[in-house]
Amino acid sequence: DDGSMTMMTPSPLEQQQEDEEMLVPHQELSTADAAQPMEVVAQTEPTNTAESQAPEDPQTSRFTWTIENFTRVSGKKHYSDVFVVGGFKWRVLIFPKGNNVDHLSMYLDVADSGNLPYGWSRYAQFSLAIVNQIHQKYTARKDTQHQFNARESDWGFTSFMPLSELYDPSRGYLVNDTVVVEAEVAVRKMIDYWTYDSKKETGYVGLKNQGATCYMNSLLQTLYHIPYFRKAVYHMPTTENDMPSGSIPLALQSLFYKLQYSDNSVATKELTKSFGWDTYDSFMQHDVQELNRVLCEKLEDKMKGTVVEGTIEQLFEGHHINYIECINVDYKSNRKESFYDLQLDVKGCRDVYASFDKYVEVERLEGDNKYQAEQHGLQDARKGVLFLDFPPVLQLQLKRFEYDYMRDTMVKINDRYEFPLQLDLDKDDGKYLTPDADRSIRNLYTLHSVLVHSGGVHGGHYYAFIRPTLSDQWYKFDDERVTKEDTKKALEEQYGGEEELPQVNPGFNNTPFKFTKYSNAYMLVYIRESDKEKIMCNVDEKDIAEHLRIRLKKEQEEKEHKKKEKAEAHLYTIIKVARDEDLKEQIGKNIYFDLVDHEKVRNFRIQKQLPFNSFK
């Protein structure tokens, strides 16, 4: 039944695409088992941890497929020629009129899957594109990664782009009845995904991906790894009568406790319920900055009147002064504002310092734009922002997503943007600071975490690089999975921009191609050197309320018990015994099929191996 595909599409299970176009294998599945691959996929999605394990460069290639007489292509499916990457044969599969959707559907397919040895599997990162033949920069491109195997020998996008856009000649995708498809494929060696144990390998555990929570897991890991913050959360007064799903403090305490002491990845459902973002849309309609603010404001509110009152401000709050000063008369207006995070421009800025330069840029108010300076009338003036103080934990939001008025849509800026391991905000004699800022505080910061988004403006994948102890060892927190990484991975590789890939098949495509890096940083967290000792404090069992420890131990034991029961279920069976008194009690009262109503007699759960004599 071909129609099953469209039914599957919106399922939020598949975490890689956050919008309506879930990534789905396109095989025509019967409706009954339509959701099956989705479920399997949701838990096995190999994220791009493989790259961290592969020291050798992946074998990469670009394949260009020019389809002439496009509107005359007959048949529902259309395959490209076979091309080889990483020693494997691939081809691109398109549905020119959509795979039961009003979008072009496009997949990467293992060309010889029918002839491969039993149990084969291979991992690839790839992007598929429809080239815009009028304006290169409007080329439609989506990228993802997948572990291909016999059951899922193709992978890609059921809703790649609306057919209305593709077939509109003014858009530039269909020119002279020709469409140009580009596939970039990088094949990587895959480590065994199933047996990897994050706790054993790194000492840390991940957070389960519960579909469509996007940036939340990265933010939670980042906050958890600010020990002072974690300690304050543990010290918030909660009682055993609270329910985690109705109490943010308790939900967060419980989540943090499990991150600290559990051996397996931790679920986030109670937490999302507690702050009311438990629908698929909540995350789509907000960004990480708003989630951060919602969490912090609610915590701040709940901390009032408790021993940890003011923690959020102490950690994250800084102040700047918005000023306007007249040039020809002595008149000045100042407004002090607080911030918990700063939004920095990426576009047109090469690095964090350039963004700060832009932040404090002086604007001239002159000509038609003079300033109304109370009793002085209209005056030429200078307007700008300077910082009064920076917080111990500095959160920088990088503006990677912006609205493009020409195209009336959100676009992602993949431009190269550098950020340092050490950030000195006192540089050039404190040019970012107001004259009356306290100069005895040294604003030298060290990088604590890098939150990364990989993919296009819709969907994509989120993960974080964090240094939990600020040592040289970085870790990548990618949902359930935590891996050790080197500094280059967390820094240079998240600057964005383009990289030239080495040639693999020189005869195959002679120009070395630039591969836009779709994975790049969208949020940075820095910790001030002088506050490091205080913030990276020790957090242990004694910081955790007794009732919390008991509750979580009990939860853990119940879970173990259920697991054990489940594991042993096949050893047991249920026997229903109708005794004499059951017969006496029931005969003649009601009408049923047997001598007695078996719903109402005694049940025994016994081991199948038990001899009948012992049972008697």
Contact 296, 275 (CB under 8 A): no
- Answer whether residue 196 shows pLDDT above 90: no
In the annotation, is 461 catalytic? yes
- Answer whether residue 537 shows pLDDT above 80: yes
What pairing do the DSSP bridges indicate for beta strands 121-130 and 140-149? Answer: antiparallel
Choose the most confident range, by mean pLDDT, from 204-213, 233-242, 384-393, 395-404: 384-393
* Dihedral (CA of 299, 303, 307, 310) sign: positive
Q: SS3 of 279, please? A: coil
pTM exceeding 0.75: no
Distance CA 35, CA 578 (A): 42
Choose the most confident range, by mean pLDDT, from 16-30, 137-151, 167-181: 167-181
Q: SS3 of 114, please? A: helix
Q: pLDDT tier at 548 (50, 70, 90 boundaries)?
A: confident
Strands of the sheet with 332-339, listed across from one edge: 332-339, 318-326, 381-389, 363-365
CATH number of 59-187: 2.60.210.10
For residues 541-557, average pLDDT: 87
In the annotation, is 214 catalytic? yes
Contact 26, 5 (CB under 8 A): yes
For residues 2-22, average pLDDT: 33
Distance CA 282, CA 330 (A): 50
Q: pLDDT tier at 179 (50, 70, 90 boundaries)?
A: very high
Catalytic: which of 103, 146, 453, 461? 461
Catalytic: which of 214, 296, 326, 349? 214
Q: SS3 of 299, please? A: helix
What pairing do the DSSP bridges indicate for beta strands 342-345 and 393-399? Answer: parallel
Domain with CATH 2.60.210.10 in the chain: 59-187
pLDDT of residue 191: 54
pLDDT of residue 457: 67
